[in-house]
Chains A and B, each alone.
Chain A
């Protein structure tokens, strides 16, 4: 599409830019940096914080570059004394009542506020304003909210409301007492929060963070009585490197496995193996529902944020959910049954740690129904960020480690298991297997590009063994809601739907490394990390779940066949509606 071009001048530099873009975007084209704080491209463009002010000739006062559109002949100055002074005073005022505990803050060195203070050369603070200390909300198993570190940028509010459609956070009160919180100052644990953690990934400071469970893991590792094993989700290996200064999209599978060994885990397993198992169970369920006239569309159940969303907001679709547990929960159940028996270890002593790109999985692991063996399937869930913290704490030189591979007996996974990490991946993995099982012959092309990519809702019609299988993929909960509304209103019909709570799927999960606005505003994290996932898939010798020899072995030795009684006992679960704002007696 040809856009009309106009000429502008920024700091004496004359450039041609498309009409209608903002001053900030134009400056980016000219390679001129303008500091921002509340701005997050496409998510929060509200011009609230005034960090990005510039002088524009012919306009009175300073203008916010992030929302001010360029026009032909415009002359912009980004570094005048008035601009510098204004930015500095604004920042000093924000800092004046900020809880400046940088030394012990989880976001130290990855904090946009700290970086601004350094860039704008803030020395001694001239204003020591009134402070206003509020209690920490740490009741949720996934997310901690610290209002004293909040800078009121509203990025989390926009994310929760406009991207996830959950809207459990908003700006309350006014003036000095303004606070971002759930309604009636409830805890995130008492409101219909899906625990997706997207609010954390957009928070510029340490006001939102995951519940840190690293202590529990250190303790378990030190306990000689326990047999501590770990599994890692596919999305972790394409993002963990960012925590150690590597470019976005670096694949660090070997370094990750080697680090986990050094941390002292007995075995390092790949959740992807369980993802292959999920595909076997889910495809069996799909075929069964199609053939026996069961509830359709079948909707995937791997994303615990999506599951909680469905329980709160769309309980009428609970029967559509696949009864399959999410892969790491399946793996946990397997480790405490099949593996424990094989290793001759008491299942009570098997301690399962899951490294996940996800905060909702912390909540999921605490679901009492996910304890197939009488013990929780998974004992502790750590996010990618928490794993990075443990690696740093153990002084492991992440970038220089010997090559290491996942452990057997469940170490080998297919490419289908790997692509679970990106939106459309579970669908594609299922299609690879469904098409061959139903079609009875090998696929010529196993890549289903229709379901890949970052478009919010993707649809595909695929010929599978004489059936035109109608599939849809949604990622980001607002998109999920829109898709479900279409189905409710009879505007669309599908056999099979994949839904992931996080935009882009797990690669962009709420537990992934946090990239600041000045990076993620100009580069699509979802696409960059997904690229690495698909490369990993392409490099694997086995790319279909049903061809994974470990999965075949598990069915031969243990489960019998997909959908068997034993498989149901260990690998499947159920869901229940949840009240949105249950009455709590908070006197």
Chain B
């Protein structure tokens, strides 16, 4: 496992917010998933320090939390980019050439699935059907959807985000 570059140490200001999230759900049944969602919103991902804090706070074994985090693709152990790219690999997108879109993204960004670019701008992930099969193949960048794509459109799309003011 590669080293965590997120600085998610529990003495940073987010730690207090995490404690509040845990306290809010402490006595609720089935609290784990909502807590993980909110914690991921706070930190961008779920590193071991965060999972340990949740484990202690909710009194749920760390092994169980890790099992849940690694089961659902929505949760991530690795930091995500400012722009989260999701390539749909659902059946329709797959047969319409999602693989070539994915390959192009890997090539242009220089990262593999699940990774984040060095500058922290883009992360690349695959997902199952996002419900836009009519537009296949589809990718999502944060909340924006790009449909009926071809591989040669990728470069332009990436540039658009690179040029966006931070």
Taking Cβ atoms with an 8 Å cutoff, the residues of A that contact B are 161, 167-174, 182-185, 191, 580-581, 585-587
Contact = CB atoms under 8 A, between A and B. Distances in A.
A170 B66 contact: yes
Interface of B is mostly: helix
A191 B3 contact: no
A161 B65 CA distance: 13
Question: Which of A161, A171, A174, A183 is the most central at the interface, judged by chain B CB atoms within 10 Å of its CB?
Answer: A183
B64 A170 contact: yes
14 contacts: A167-B63, A169-B63, A170-B67, A171-B67, A171-B71, A172-B66, A173-B71, A174-B70, A182-B63, A183-B48, A183-B51, A183-B66, A185-B1, A580-B62
Interface in B49-71: 51-52, 61-67, 70-71
Interface in B123-139: none
A587 to B, nearest CB: 5
Given A167-B61, A170-B66, A172-B70, 12 more contacts: A161-B64, A167-B64, A172-B66, A173-B70, A174-B70, A183-B51, A183-B62, A183-B67, A184-B1, A191-B62, A191-B63, A587-B2
Contact of A183 (B2, B3, B65): B65
Interface of B: 1-3, 48, 51-52, 61-67, 70-71
A207 to B, nearest CB: 16
Contacts of A174: 70-71
A581 B52 CA distance: 8
A191 B1 CA distance: 16
A53 B37 CA distance: 38
Contacts of B2: 587
Contacts of A183: 48, 51, 62-63, 65-67
A183 B70 CA distance: 10
B160 to A, nearest CB: 34
Contacts of B1: 184-185, 586-587
Question: Which of A161, A170, A171, A191 is the most central at the interface, judged by chain B CB atoms within 10 Å of its CB?
Answer: A170
Contacts of A585: 3
B67 A184 contact: no
A184 to B, nearest CB: 6
A168 B71 contact: no
A381 B26 CA distance: 44
A494 to B, nearest CB: 25
Contacts of B65: 183
Contacts of B51: 183
A278 B63 CA distance: 37
Nearest to A179: B70
B77 to A, nearest CB: 8
B67 A172 contact: yes
B101 to A, nearest CB: 22
B62 A581 contact: yes
A169 B62 CA distance: 9
Contacts of A169: 63
B128 to A, nearest CB: 11
B48 A587 contact: no
Given A161-B61, A183-B65, A191-B63, A581 B48 contact: yes
A587 B2 CA distance: 5
Contacts of A581: 48, 52, 62
Given A183-B51, A184-B48, A581-B48, A170 B3 contact: no
A460 to B, nearest CB: 31
A172 B63 CA distance: 8
A393 B67 CA distance: 41
B70 A168 contact: no
Question: Which of B51, B52, B70 is the most central at the interface, judged by chain A CB atoms within 10 Å of its CB?
Answer: B70
A544 to B, nearest CB: 43
Top 6 A-B pairs, shortest CB-CB distance = A167-B61, A183-B66, A170-B63, A170-B67, A183-B62, A183-B63
Contacts of A168: 61, 63
Contacts of A172: 66-67, 70-71
A587 B70 contact: no
Contacts of A173: 70-71
Contacts of A161: 61, 64
A173 B66 CA distance: 9
A167 B67 CA distance: 11
B33 to A, nearest CB: 15
B30 to A, nearest CB: 17
B55 to A, nearest CB: 8
Given A184-B1, A185-B1, A170 B48 contact: no
Contacts of A167: 61, 63-64
Given A161-B61, A183-B62, A581-B52, A587 B3 contact: yes
